[in-house]
Amino acid sequence: MAKRPGIFPTFFLSGFECSTFLWRDRKRRDLVAETRHREHALEDYRILHDLGIAVAREGIPWPMVDTPSGYDFQTIAPMLDAMRQTRITPIWDLCHYGYPEELDPFSEEFCTRFANYCRAAAQHVSRHLPGPYFFTPINEITFFSFCGGEWGWVAPYRNTRDDRMKLRVALCKAAICGVNAIREVLPDARMVHVDPLVQVIAPPDRPDLKEAARHETFVDTFVAWDILFGKSHPELGGSPEVLDIVGVNNYSFGQMEYREQGPHQALDPGHPGILPLCTLMARVWDRYRRPIVIGETSGMNQGRTEWLRDVMNEAMAAVNQGMDLHGICLFPGIDMPDWHTGQWLHNGICDLVEDNGDLRRVPFAPYVDELRRWQKELNRVTAVDEDPYSDPVELQDVIDAARRLRPAPDADWH
């Protein structure tokens, strides 16, 4: 039987929260600083290494790198050193909700500055790390456009549906410019464009909102990916090669009840409107037929273990339906704070515990045990090899496991 190598050296991926948005109080947030990831970079990467995870989503903070005196990449030096020591491959997020505050994302200058920065970032990381190279030019374009275009949570602080639509197109335009700039430097670089999987239903007492909910689910969810793919706004230069790898983010709050103002209301577990993850993934696969990764997923608190079990069963069902699934990103690797309250979410592989002014990394043992169980089911490594690319993921192993387990898609999640 012919080998079917995967895109990544391990099937399980992880990553670190790296948002750098201007929050609604007009102050810059740096989630890497809030989680002490820079100070603990080597420890954080060794945790992934010892868990058999050889790929990590990591951020380059555009507003901190693109300075008036030129590009300064010193802020990612600890991460580069940690990656070299642990042999973990990054997927670089180049704009994780943050951009230089003097820029207007609706302007042509935004695209030009972003492309120049992407080009410089590609040059920098390729001087310090071996390939292959992976990038997410702009993280979660759809969610970003809600946060900054309609809800006013982050810059550019707009608050209308029309602004949200315009911001999404502007971000897609910049992302395509970024892809082209990166590939001028690294022609073989791969792109992972991530956005949430979404299912929206109307409130039971508001049948008049059914069409709005349907539009949100079947049209709005796909606008950014459609532009990147070239299905819409072809003048912006999208194509299947630009879209490349589709990253579908899966969280419980992605299934919602429609609200006319502000964010929709997340459905409670057991709600009859919830659909299986496999069903949501099939909508993406049928639309683009591009390689898929689950770009982010995590449960909360004690539910993390059961969440991973549910996601893996749904992923195996998706593989049995013929979807080209290349990995699952257990995000984040270490805990992160709720943007609004600052409270730790307890959604990471490791919790963060205050300890004499520092943040101690404490693996959540039941979650780790469940990861180990699935690594064995899929015949995957449980620690990163000396050369992770010497024995890449054999997708046939994943396919064989899916056929052996034969899970049925199930709307029951925790």
Residues 6+ apart with CB under 8 A from 291: 7, 244, 245, 246, 324, 326
| 225-243 mean pLDDT | 98
Please provide residue 355's backbone torsions phi and psi, each rounded to the nearest 5 degrees: -150, 100
User: Would you state the pLDDT for residue 413?
Assistant: 59
- Hey, what are 27's tokens? 């102050």
Residue 307: HSE in the Cβ half-sphere, 13 Å Cα cutoff: 24
What mean pLDDT do residues 347-355 have?
Answer: 97
Give the DSSP letter string of 133-169.
-EEESSTTHHHHHHHHHTS-SBTT---SHHHHHHHHH
Nearest CA to 143 among 226, 221, 227? 221
How many CB atoms lie under 10 A from the CB of residue 210? 13
Would you call 256 helix, strand, or coil by DSSP?
Answer: strand
Tell me if the pTM is above 0.95: yes
Query: Can you tell me the distance from the alpha carbon of 24 to that of 201, in angstroms, rounded to the nearest whole number?
Result: 29
223/143 Cα distance (integer angstroms): 12
Class of residue 127 by CB neighbours under 10 A (exposed 0-12, middle 13-18, buried 19+): exposed
d(CA 350, CA 46): 12
CA 378 to chain centre: 22
Cα atoms in the Cβ-side hemisphere of radius 13 Å centred on 342: 4
Whole-number Å distance between alpha carbons of 331 and 20 = 17
Reported confidence tier of residue 390, pLDDT bands at 50, 70, 90: confident
Q: Fill in the amino acid letter for 393.
A: V
The single-letter DSSP state of residue 209 is G
Q: Is the pLDDT of residue 231 over 60?
A: yes
Mean pLDDT score of the chain, rounded to an integer?
96
Q: Give dist(CA 51, CA 43) in Å, integer.
A: 12
Strand residue runs (E) in 6-115:
12-15, 55-59, 66-67, 70-71, 89-93
H helix count then E strand count, the chain: 14, 15
Segment 329-351 mean pLDDT:
98
Give pLDDT, residue 1. 54
What span, in angstroms and rounded, lies between the C-alpha atoms of 363 and 348? 8
Give the pLDDT of residue 6. 95
The predicted pLDDT at position 381 comes to: 84
The pLDDT value recorded for residue 410 is 87
Q: If you average pLDDT over residues 378-407, what whole number do you get?
A: 91
- Distance of alpha carbon 413 from alpha carbon 350, whole angstroms: 22
Instruction: Report how far residue 344's alpha carbon sits from residue 18's, in angstroms, rounded to the nearest whole number.
Output: 15
Distance CA 162, CA 159 (A): 9
* Average of per-residue pLDDT across 96-111: 98
Q: What's the mean pLDDT in 130-146? A: 98
